[in-house]
């Protein structure tokens, strides 16, 4: 799962490196801005992946493979509908996003070119979320890795060929993402069919229209939807404030954030494993095993943080210059690079607890802690720290991550004291 997750930010690093070596910084800023818009659009529906994994893993823990497949097909149907709605409403969605973020004219121009192409990947991306979530729940991480490798390898090759050899700009990166998304979906559906044939169950097309079967899915997904919206709002707000400072600051912050996401995706390999294993433990009502999984996840998350910080601390300038050779951007990144040395130790605990809470089906607690961290900590902190400019923005972001870690740890403690993990409520 670490290898699978790493393919996503590594692709972002390649995109950054390709665009970071073009003559102007606004190409890099445009893709960074457009990428966060699509993160907002797509990961707002990240519950399709998380909810599928949580409910399917619990079904597998209870030896109910038929229930697991029902969750898969209904989630796929839901993902397809949502993807088509996003395509239909793309114009007002993009207008609202650019109005809110208010970037420089050059940045907005090239970001819109990217958005107008990549939006058509929405159905494929959301269906892929469901497929990945289901494959994780049935213990097929190698197949998830295969999907990620093939999808991102195609994307990488297309990005390099279209931008470097065909002279395209942000449109080349967008076309690479669009084509690779449908290639990944085709592979994912093939793997789903292979796995379903091994465990045949009585599930027909008519079952998709039985509304009662969606209630449990929607119950957990509504909390995850609000939680994910709050998380993406915080990232969108961070990028919006970066863009409103100046293009160089936006470009520098996007480089640093790309490196943070590299760590986050890698560490999420442990979170994904903890999610599946804790879900099965809860489904089988094995509370002792559940606590053992938590302890192991804590250890591995801490070790991952130490290794990541050691590498980026020693090789800081080498890493930065691999991503961009625009000297003003390099200089600006170096100023704010120390924040990247602090954040992993602050954020690693909420990454780990996200996996544990997801596996246990405690989505409401995830939602509530995220609401508090976003609107009671991050926004007030940013307002009070505005005199510090970009350093104030990064400090507010650190406080946001710390609030998430502390609040989720407190909830974990309360659940453990009251033996609330086995409760059926989310």
Closest to 251 measured CA to CA, from 111, 95, 94, 395: 111
Residue recorded with tokens 């497929």: 131
Residue 351 Cα distances to 105, 189, 305, angstroms: 36, 29, 11
Contact partners, residue 54, CB within 8 Å, separation at least 6: 137, 220, 275, 279, 358, 359, 360, 361, 363
Q: What is the distance between the alpha carbons of residues 39 and 236, in angstroms, rounded to a whole number?
A: 9
Please state the domain count of the chain.
1
> Which H or E run includes 339?
helix 338-360
Exposure on the CB side of residue 410, measured as CA atoms within 13 A: 8
Q: Which residue, among 142, 119, 128, 113, has the nearest Cα to 182 in the 3D structure?
A: 128
Helix (H) or strand (E) holding 234: helix 215-245
Q: What is the span of the domain harbouring residue 374?
A: 2-422
What are the pLDDT digits (tens) for 112-137? Answer: 888 899 899 999 999 998 999 899 88
The pLDDT tens digits for 276-311 are 888 888 877 888 898 999 889 889 889 989 999 999
Q: Sorting pLDDT into bands at 50, 70 and 90, what band is 10?
A: low
Round to whole Å and give the CA distance between 361 and 364.
9
With beta carbons less than 8 A apart as the criterion, state whether 275 and 220 touch: no
Per DSSP, helices labelled H in 1-140 are: 2-20, 25-43, 47-61, 65-88, 90-101, 105-118, 122-137
Mean pLDDT, rounded, for 90-110: 83
Q: Which of 88, 82, 121, 355 is nearest to 218 (CA)?
A: 82
pLDDT digits (tens, 9 = 90+) for 336-383: 999 999 999 998 888 889 889 888 878 889 999 999 999 999 999 999
pLDDT in tens, 137-173: 888 888 988 998 898 889 888 888 887 788 787 778 8
207-248: pLDDT as tens digits: 666 665 566 666 667 888 888 888 878 888 898 898 888 888
* Distance, CA of 340 to CA of 346 (rounded, Å): 10
Cβ atoms of 408 and 360 closer than 8 Å: no
Q: Cα(142)–Cα(175) distance, rounded to whole angstroms?
A: 27
């Amino acid at each position: 799962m670490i290898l699978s997750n790493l393919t996503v930010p590594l692709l972002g690093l390649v995109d950054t490196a390709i665009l970071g070596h073009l003559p102007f910084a606004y190409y890099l800023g445009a893709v960074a801005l457009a990428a966060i818009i699509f993160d907002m659009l797509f990961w707002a529906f990240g519950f399709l992946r998380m909810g599928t994994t949580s409910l399917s893993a619990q079904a597998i823990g209870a030896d109910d493979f038929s229930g697991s497949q029902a969750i898969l097909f209904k989630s796929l149907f839901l993902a397809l509908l949502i993807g088509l709605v996003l395509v239909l409403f793309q114009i007002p969605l993009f207008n609202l996003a650019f109005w809110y973020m208010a970037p420089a004219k050059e940045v907005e121009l090239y970001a819109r070119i990217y958005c107008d192409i990549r939006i058509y990947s929405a159905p494929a991306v959301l269906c892929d979320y469901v497929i990945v979530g289901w494959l994780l729940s049935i213990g097929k991480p190698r197949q998830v890795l295969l999907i990620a490798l093939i999808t991102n390898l195609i994307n990488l090759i297309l990005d390099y060929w279209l931008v470097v050899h065909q002279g395209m700009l942000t449109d080349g990166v967008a076309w690479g993402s669009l084509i690779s998304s449908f290639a990944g979906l085709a592979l994912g559906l093939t793997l789903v069919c292979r796995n379903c044939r091994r465990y045949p169950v009585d599930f027909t097309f008519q079952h998709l229209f039985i509304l009662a079967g969606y209630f449990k899915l929607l119950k957990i997904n509504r909390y995850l939807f609000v939680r994910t919206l709050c998380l993406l709002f915080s990232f969108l707000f961070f990028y919006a404030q970066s863009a409103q400072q100046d293009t160089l600051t936006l470009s520098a912050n996007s480089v640093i954030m790309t490196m943070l996401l590299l760590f986050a995706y890698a560490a999420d390999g442990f979170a994904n494993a903890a999610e599946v294993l804790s879900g099965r433990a809860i489904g089988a009502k094995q509370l002792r095993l559940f606590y053992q999984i938590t302890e192991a996840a804590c250890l591995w998350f801490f070790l991952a943080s130490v290794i990541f910080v050691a590498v980026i601390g020693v090789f800081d300038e080498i890493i930065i210059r691999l991503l961009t050779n625009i000297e003003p951007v390099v200089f600006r990144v170096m100023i704010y690079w120390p924040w990247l040395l602090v954040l992993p130790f602050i954020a690693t605990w909420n990454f780990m607890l996200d996996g544990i809470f997801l596996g246990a089906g405690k989505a409401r607690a995830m939602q509530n802690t995220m609401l508090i961290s976003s609107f009671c900590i991050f926004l007030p902190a940013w307002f009070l720290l505005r005199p510090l400019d970009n350093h104030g923005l990064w400090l507010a972001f650190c406080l946001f991550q710390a609030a998430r870690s502390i609040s989720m740890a407190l909830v974990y403690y309360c659940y453990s004291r009251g033996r609330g993990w086995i409760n059926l409520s989310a």
